[in-house]
């Protein structure tokens, strides 16, 4: 009886030793092959996602800059402007928020108060580009755009390095920032229908 129990323990121990031996060469080759296939088929979509993510990053930056200009105009009860450094898809969306006319809107203010905030696309995604009908958008002390435009101002953010926009059957999820005459600021996707809450 004692010998039977000893043999049983030895048998179980041998089985454990075989299980702890690690992977076989065939198992390793199969695993490496599967990982390689997943990476090969996943790379194009991952690349498009990363390039589209750069668009979102700079679109959110432009949106926050516009919201800052509007809130500062209301807080100071004066004209504050949001200025894009480049237009018509010729460069990255660098922008600044400043007092519209420093001598009038921020009298006696130093440079630190006149230039409220400055943003360089190098901080976020330098490969994106901006296209807008005007370089400067000015908000009045009540938060409205001045002078009052006839329609909403559209600022389009794209990424030519990643390809064409989805609205033109490309892979990029380009975005648009719309500023209404009343000062409402909205980010939207031109590829989506107007009936969609995220569409333009």
- Judge whether 126 lies within some domain: yes
CB 120 within 8 A of CB 94: yes
- Judge whether 95 lies within some domain: yes
Distance between CA atoms of residues 6 and 158, nearest Å: 74
CATH of the domain at 133: 3.55.40.10
Stretch 8-36: mean pLDDT? 65
pLDDT (tens digit per residue) in 23-39: 688 877 888 877 766 66
The DSSP letter of residue 148 is P
- Residue carrying the six token digits 């009045």: 140
- Judge whether 2 lies within some domain: no
- Judge whether 120 lies within some domain: yes
* Helices marked H in 23-87: 25-76
The total of other beta-carbon atoms located within 10 Å of residue 186's CB is 13
Per DSSP, the three-state class of 129 is: strand
Distance between CA atoms of residues 129 and 101, nearest Å: 28
Give the model's pLDDT for residue 181: 94
- Residue carrying the six token digits 């959110």: 60
pLDDT (tens digit per residue) in 141-167: 999 999 999 899 999 999 888 888 988
What's the whole-model pTM score? 0.70
The total number of structural domains that make up the chain: 1
Domain extent, residue 141, equals 51-188
């Amino acid at each position: 009886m004692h010998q039977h129990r000893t043999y049983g323990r030895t048998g179980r121990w041998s089985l454990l030793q075989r299980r702890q031996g690690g992977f076989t060469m065939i198992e390793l080759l199969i695993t490496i092959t599967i990982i390689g296939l997943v990476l090969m088929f996943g790379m194009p979509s991952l690349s498009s996602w990363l390039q589209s993510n750069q668009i979102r990053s700079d679109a959110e930056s432009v949106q926050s800059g516009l919201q800052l200009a509007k809130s500062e105009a209301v807080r100071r009860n004066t004209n504050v402007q949001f200025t894009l450094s480049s237009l018509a898809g010729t460069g990255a969306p660098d922008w600044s928020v400043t007092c519209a006319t420093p001598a009038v809107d921020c009298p006696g203010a130093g440079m630190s108060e006149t230039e409220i905030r400055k943003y360089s696309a190098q901080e976020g995604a330098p490969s994106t580009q901006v296209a807008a009908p005007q370089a400067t958008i000015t908000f009045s002390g009540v938060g409205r755009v001045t002078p009052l435009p006839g329609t909403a101002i559209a600022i389009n953010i794209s990424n030519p390095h990643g390809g064409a926009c989805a609205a033109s059957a490309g892979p990029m999820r380009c975005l648009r920032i719309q500023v209404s005459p009343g000062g409402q600021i909205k980010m939207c996707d031109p590829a989506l229908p107007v009936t969609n809450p995220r569409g333009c």
